Amino acid sequence: MKERIKIVVFSVLVIICFSCNLKEKDYNENINELNEYINNIEKPRNVKFKIYELNSNVSRIGPSDNCLVAILTYSKDDFLRIKNEIVKEEPVDIKFIKKDDKLAWFPKSVTDEFVLKGDLYYSIKAKSYKANCFYKDPYIHGFCFFTDQNEIFLSLYAL
């Protein structure tokens, strides 16, 4: 009986220690889950994404507006193939992205493309394009831009 109690106590301590060492991520890295929300024309090597509920502090009946922000990292060949297809379209004029502490999970290659405009917004230095090839209902509006690290920054929203 004493041995059994020791095992249970040890197991609980291991679980507690393991839980304390886990850092909660502010984003999701599950490629399969991301595929539920966007059309992936090539499978990325890595993804980071998050879904934000816009105006979540407003109570409402019915659907709410959501924004999906993702960073997709590809092999160089896949990245160039996707980029060459997207840049056939005219660039779009993305004026601003709202400044938000939630952007801390973006890699430096993405944040290097943001320029602070006033106290509340960033403008984007990189050429931005419609993200049509990634649209999947309900995320059928939005834009993307490219980094020099074979990454695609994707901002899609549903109305």
The token pair at 41 is 């024309």
Report if residue 46 sits inside a domain. Answer: yes
Q: 48 in a domain, yes or no?
A: yes
Among residues 123, 151, 147, the alpha carbon closest in space to that of 44 is found at: 151
pLDDT at 5: 39
Asked, for residue 3, whether it belongs to a domain, the answer is no
Domain tally, the chain? 1
Tell whether 2 is covered by a domain: no
User: Rg for the chain (alpha carbons), in Å?
Assistant: 20
Q: How much is the pLDDT for 19?
A: 33
Between 68 and 121, the higher pLDDT residue: 68
Helix/strand/coil for 139: strand
Selection from 24, 122, 120, 136 nearest residue 70 by Cα? 136
The domain in which residue 72 lies consists of 25-158
- pLDDT of the residue at 57: 57
Inside any domain, residue 89? yes
- Domain annotation covers residue 9: no
**Residue 143 included in any domain:** yes
Contact yes or no for 99/122 (Cβ under 8 A): yes
Nearest to 114, CA basis, from 131, 130, 95: 95
